[in-house]
Structures are given as structure tokens and as C-alpha cells.
Amino acid sequence: MPAGFGDDVGSAGIVRTKHVTFDQPGRTLSLEGGGELWPVTIAYETYGTLSKTRDNAIMVFHALSGDAHAAGRRSTNDKRAGWWDIVIGPGKALDTDRYFVISANVIGGCSGSTGPSSIDPATGKPYGTRFPIITIADMVEAHLLLLDHLGIDKLLAAVGGSMGGMQVLEMAVSHPDRLHLVVALATAARQPTQAIAFNEVGRQAIMADPDWRDGHYYGGKPPSKGLAVARMVGHITYLSDEAMQEKFGRRLQDIQQYTFTFDADFEVESYLRHQGLAFTNRFDANTYLYITRALDYFDLSRRHGSLVSAFREVKSRFLVLSFSSDWLHPPYQLKEIVSALRATHKHVSYYEVSSRYGHDAFLLEREKMEGVIGAFLASGARSFAP
């Protein structure tokens, strides 16, 4: 059995989530959409040891439903490892015997970083929809606060898939002196129209739930039904047609014949309902609204006129990975990034992973990713001067 799939070979070990609050008087986190956010708390985890010369730091950025817990386990009884444990740990692609790996929950999140469910110091109550609209760029600015706190001026690498990949690209463009290597997986330089459409359906499902109460439901019943539907819609985009056919087909769920009702006759229906319900136990509905909105606003070319212009000043070396069956961010969107980088004569490598898992492949295809990522990091580390 590969490490990371239930055993402890290559495990990052027992980890704990740390929190740092930035509340210095006179400072604020200015937001792209206007306004500011302060104080700011960031939840984060680290794996491995920071070198004396601080030249081995790698930051991992999570996707929409992720959090700071990227690797290892929180206790000896923890049955589930971090969301990217397959590539983070001793001997893995992000080798914690060699690298100091950082993972942080984004602002707007609901897993320890400041977000809609956090207490608004102005009112003493949860922000709810009084929380300001945030963007991918704002998430990156908050990550830089953490890096400054840790004393890391320049990252060896920034790595991320999906929304995490967008954060990596944003950092490379907005702060070219802060990172040496970029690994972007299953992502895009701008949120595609189809993804915006799916996100809007999810948001409308949440806001149509009578328990949403304009986002001020804390202390009462949360809009779980709306959030569950939003998750069901989103989850479909993470899978491929081939994967769904192979996993479910038209098989019935614990019945021999159709019930001729609106019960979950099919296995795929039961699966989606389970995914939706499970999601409501760990995620905040308002966070879903805010993060999907941040995704929809993401467009690297907007401030620069074109994608080529956006990449003109970047200094990083890039590894861009796409996945053949990903229809949320199909390979052509990753190739667009590669073409723009090559047009500005940047150092970029591109690899398309053959996979049947769809968008979720970057969370699953360990054997097909780790050699490519590991070699890229090792090669880039030799030319890194922090």
C-alpha cells in the first residue's frame, strides 16, 4: 500500500495547528475590493525543519474546501491524514527531511483563519455577511504576513492545485521576489465561465435556504440544506465522466427495482447526498459564498491587460501540471499559462498527467506526480539563493 493511504510510512507524524494573530495598532490588511481587515488570525501547520539559512521553505496552498491540515495526523487516534499527505512527508515529493513545508488556512476560511464566522471586534458578534469581500490577491497578502512572522523572506517554492494554484500564480505575479519555484496544478490563470456558473448555482442554493437569514445564522440553525446542495453541485465538477461511470454506473442503491419515488434509487444519488451532508459538518456556508466569489473574481490579465503582460516581470521557474480528464480546469487552460510564460521567455516545464479521476486527480495521482514534482524541486533548489 502506498504511503499516505492508511499506513505511517513516510508520515509527517503527529502535527498541531498553530494560530498567529496580527493586531498591531496602526496596521491593516488593505483589501483589493476596498476596505480593510484587521486584526487577522491565520491558522497554519509546518512540517520538517527550517534550515539555518532559511533556504528550504515551501508553502502549500489549499483548494476551496481545504485547510491548514495538509499532512500528518492530529493524534495517534486520527483516522484521516491531512488532505495532501500523499506528497508531504519523509521521502515524498515534498520531502520533510529536506524541506520545511508550510500550509495555512486562507482568510475567509472557517478552519482557524479569520473569516465570516469569526468575531467582528466592532460588534462582538460573528461577522456573517458584514465580512468584507476578499480576493485571491487578498489571500496571498495574508500568507505574506505569515511568512514575515516566520522570518522567511523568500520561498524556495510555492505549490498548489485548483484554488491553491491560483494563489501560487498570484504570488508569482504580485510578489516576484518572494519565491523561486512555482508548481501549479489543475488550475487556471482566470476563473472560466463554466466554473463561475456552477459557483453561482451553489451560492443561490445557500441563499435560498430559509435558515441562511442573510448570513447571520450563527447561534442558530445553519443553512445546511443549501450548503449540502452547493457541495453536491461542486463535487460533480471534481469528478470525470469516466470516473463516475466506473464508480457508480447506473447501479441501484440497496434496491432491486426503481421505487418510483424521489428517494435515492441510484448509487450516485446516495453518494452525492452523503458528500453534501458530510460537508455541512465541517464547513461554513458563508465561507463557501466568500471563497467561491474570490475564485470568480480571479483573472490575472485584468490588472495587466493580458496574460503575457501579467507574467512579464515574474522571476520564478515554473512547473505546470494538467490532468487529462479534468473538465473543471482542462489541459488547455494550463497550456494557456505555459504559452504566456514562454512568450515572455520564462523557465517553464509542462506535464500532462493521464488520469481518469478528473479534477480531483491532483489529490490522488501520487505515483504520477511525485517524481515530476520531486525532481523539479530538487533541481531548482540547487540554483536557489534566498
Classified by CATH at the fold level, domain 18-191+299-381 comes out as: Rossmann fold (3.40.50)
Dump the DSSP string for 281-350. TT--HHHHHHHHHHHHH-BTTTTTSSHHHHHTT---EEEEEEETT-SSS-HHHHHHHHHHHHHTT--EEE
Q: What parts of the chain have a pLDDT lower than 70?
A: 1-9
Query: Annotated catalytic, 113?
Result: no
Q: Residue 120: which of 282, 279, 286 has the closest Cα?
A: 286
Burial of 251 (0-12, 13-18, 19+ CB in 10 A): exposed
Catalytic residue check, 143: no
pLDDT at 6: 38
347 is catalytic: no
Over the stretch 181-195, which tens digit does the pLDDT of each residue have? Answer: 999 999 999 999 999
Q: Would the pTM count as exceeding 0.85? A: yes
* Domain 196-292, architecture per CATH: Orthogonal Bundle (1.10)
User: 10 Å Cβ neighbour count for 284?
Assistant: 23
Out of 11, 65, 118, 162, pick the active-site residue: 162
- Of the residues 67, 138, 326, 360, only one is catalytic, namely 326
CATH 1.10.1740.110 residue window(s) in the chain: 196-292
Catalytic residue among 143, 175, 180, 359: 359
Domain with CATH 3.40.50.1820 in the chain: 18-191+299-381
Round to whole Å and give the CA distance between 1 and 278.
26
pLDDT at 385: 84
Q: What is the pLDDT of residue 9?
A: 56
